[in-house]
Chains A and B, each alone.
Chain A
Amino acid sequence: VQVVESGGGLVQPGRSLRLSCTTSGLTFGDYAMSWFRQAPGKGLEWVGFIRSKDYDGTTEYAASVKGRFTILRDDFKTTAYLQMNSLKTEDTAVYYCSSGSMIFGVVRYFDYWGQGTLVSVSS
């Protein structure tokens, strides 16, 4: 299984950025896809996830990003996306994508992770 994030970079506050998470070797449609972030020198923070189509592809978000970030998935392309709008300096972090194992719609654990992509928000 491979999980590869892309799309990170330097962006000004208030602008938008879209991250991609491309997978291979994974039964993509069976998994929730989640995003996490890690600010420099800090711990892990959950950003949000999108459930599988079996659960209508519903989404959940952390309060810190709700209304600004949107997670999407394309099962045909086995790719997930993180659309980030109205970026703030405090959104600066390495962003990780991971597959989430679900049962009855509950995302239990995150077993396959990408290497991360750095997003820097600065003027």
Chain B
Amino acid sequence: DIQMTQSPSSLSASVGDRVTFTCQASQGISKYLNWYQQKPGKAPKLVIYDASNLEREVPSRFSGSGSGTHFTFTISSLQAEDIATYYCQQYENLPITFGQGTRLEIK
């Protein structure tokens, strides 16, 4: 199975900050990586697909980059409504696997 490792596990930042966190795959996955946002008590929501494509109706302050084994997720200017846990997910191989999540909090 492909292991996905996210860092940091949690992150505290202020409104307006640029926020970046990463996802590392245990083997190369090309660009077959997605990012999801999950707010407390809610279902996950697709934010970025294929490493860098913004899902429709998602604000442009969200972006993703990377390929192979190293991927980055960025929020250019953090808003209060962005507080959530973010998960990366690979689909290079079955089983589909997720990272353990990065919990984003407001400072």
Contact = CB atoms under 8 A, between A and B. Distances in A.
Interface of A: 36, 43-46, 60, 62-63, 96, 98, 101, 106-111, 113-116
Nearest to B87: A44
Contacts of B32: 108
Given A96-B43, A109-B46, A109-B50, A43 B94 contact: no
Contact of A43 (B87, B95, B96): B87
A46 B43 contact: no
Contacts, number: 55
A28 to B, nearest CB: 18
14 contacts: A44-B44, A46-B97, A96-B44, A101-B49, A108-B34, A108-B91, A109-B46, A109-B49, A109-B91, A110-B44, A111-B46, A111-B49, A115-B43, A116-B43
User: How many interface residues does chain B have, given as a range?
Assistant: 20 to 34
A106 to B, nearest CB: 7
Nearest to A66: B95
B98 interface: yes
Contact of B100 (A43, A98, A110): A43
B50 A46 contact: no
B38 to A, nearest CB: 8
Nearest to B33: A109
B44 A107 contact: no
